[in-house]
Amino acid sequence: MPLPPPLTDHEILAARGPKEPVDPWLPIGAFVEPERQWDGRVLDVATILLANRECPFRCVYCDLWRQTLDEPTPAGAIPRQIDIALERLPPASVVKLYNSGNFFDAAAIPPLDWPAIADRVRIFERVVIENHPLLTDDRVLRFQEQLDTRLEVALGLETVHPEVLRRMNKRMTLDDFARAARILVKHDISVRAFVLLRPPFLSEDEGIEWALKSIDFAFDSGATCVSVISTRPGNGAMDRLQAEGWFAPPKLSSMEQVLAAGIESGRGRVFADTWDIARFSACSGCAAARVERLRQMNLSQTILPPVVCDCGTGDRQA
């Protein structure tokens, strides 16, 4: 069956529900959790979810728009959000500034605030931000000069399946991703990649196959770690594709298989995004233990014994 035409911006926006109220002077959230580093250390990482203007790219799978502003972020708001978050959080060695979009979108993170942001986060040994490959250029280098600490940029690769990537409305090619990664690596900026497990238009087995191909491509491009994210319904556009038979959420066993294969490759750190991942388990009895196994594999980067359960799911774990 031929694939349907890609959803347009208008169709993606029309499928949405309402946004949540957002105060531009308060962070969306903040938390500290451990994460394995490139040198094998497990460090506490502070993640600050910043409130800012919505990303201009209308990716079909994205649900981060729910907690974003419709107007440009006021000057001074981002440094204030960072202050509030750091006052509430325990000490950490690394900080992630995640803003539901692109750090170098001037309407999301005003460039005039870069010096104040740098002042607040240079106490960390590494600062991680997220950005679209098409916005990865000399702006990144100008911010790096102000930081005086290590910078890491997380880029959304999503999938290397050419037809699926085109239908994601991400507005980039694989060459765009590779170009952005080359710029970062050339200037001693670490690259983190996001990969989707079973994006729309793929079967369960295809979802596993293309996630592993995408992990390989990310490492080939210079990434030092890859975070694999289970594709979810619930943003409107994905629900439409699910109703039309073009999407189904991945199984938890598929994430287990992808994480194990990624770690076994030994090419770099591979993480399973465990946020709300228990929902993808068919068995409530073993879901919590299987999620904890994924967390421990993230930290150790070793393949742990499978969880044994009467449901038989443990027999299918990698």
pLDDT greater than 80 at residue 136: yes
Q: What is the dihedral of CA 238, 58, 96, 275, to 10 degrees?
A: 0
Count the alpha carbons within 13 Å of 42 in the hemisphere toward its beta carbon.
9
Which positions ≥6 away from 133 have C-beta within 8 Å? 155, 156, 172, 176, 177, 179, 180, 181
Say how many Å lie between the first and final Cα of the chain, rounded.
32
Domain housing 151: 9-250
Residue among 150, 137, 135, 155 at smallest CA distance from 217? 155
What are the backbone angles phi and psi of residue 187, rounded to the nearest 5°? -105, 25
pLDDT for the residue numbered 4 = 87
Helix (H, G, I), strand (E, B) or coil at 131: strand
Query: CA-to-CA distance for 3 and 278, rounded, in angstroms?
Result: 30
For residue 316, tell me if it sits in a domain. Answer: no
Query: CA-to-CA distance for 159 and 165, rounded, in angstroms?
Result: 6
pLDDT for the residue numbered 2 = 80
Which positions ≥6 away from 160 have C-beta within 8 Å? 174, 210, 213, 214, 217
For residue 309, tell me if it sits in a domain. Answer: no
Question: At how many degrees (to 10) do helices 204-220 and 252-265 cross?
Answer: 30
What are the backbone angles phi and psi of residue 135, rounded to the nearest 5°? -105, 15
Query: CA-to-CA distance for 317 and 291, rounded, in angstroms?
Result: 12
For residue 306, tell me if it sits in a domain. Answer: no
Number of C-beta neighbours around residue 167 at 10 A: 21
Question: What is the tens place of the pLDDT at every residue in 5-16?
Answer: 899 999 999 999
pLDDT greater than 80 at residue 35: yes
- Complete edge-to-edge strand list for the sheet that includes strand 225-230: 29-36, 42-49, 94-98, 126-131, 150-158, 190-197, 225-230, 269-272
Which positions ≥6 away from 127 have C-beta within 8 Å? 94, 95, 96, 97, 121, 147, 149, 150, 151, 152
Number of C-beta neighbours around residue 15 at 10 A: 16
Which positions ≥6 away from 156 have C-beta within 8 Å? 59, 130, 132, 133, 170, 193, 194
pLDDT greater than 70 at residue 178: yes
Cα–Cα–Cα angle for 94, 100, 103, nearest 5°?
A: 65
When the pLDDT of each residue in the chain is averaged and rounded to a whole number, the result is 96
Q: Give the CATH number for residue 89.
A: 3.20.20.70
Please state, in angstroms and as integers, the Cα–Cα distance from residue 255 to each residue in 72, 225, 227, 293, following that order: 37, 16, 11, 12
Token pair in block for residue 47: 């993640």
pLDDT for the residue numbered 3 = 84
Question: What is the tens place of the pLDDT at every residue in 106-126?
Answer: 999 999 999 999 999 999 999
For residue 268, tell me if it sits in a domain. Answer: no
pLDDT for the residue numbered 13 = 97
Beta bridge partners of 272: 228
pLDDT for the residue numbered 313 = 65
- Domain tally for the chain? 1
For residue 239, tell me if it sits in a domain. Answer: yes
pTM above threshold 0.75: yes
For residue 173, tell me if it sits in a domain. Answer: yes
For residue 301, tell me if it sits in a domain. Answer: no
Query: CA-to-CA distance for 298 and 273, rounded, in angstroms?
Result: 9
Identify the band that residue 227 occupies on the pLDDT scale cut at 50, 70 and 90.
very high
pLDDT for the residue numbered 95 = 98
For residue 162, tell me if it sits in a domain. Answer: yes
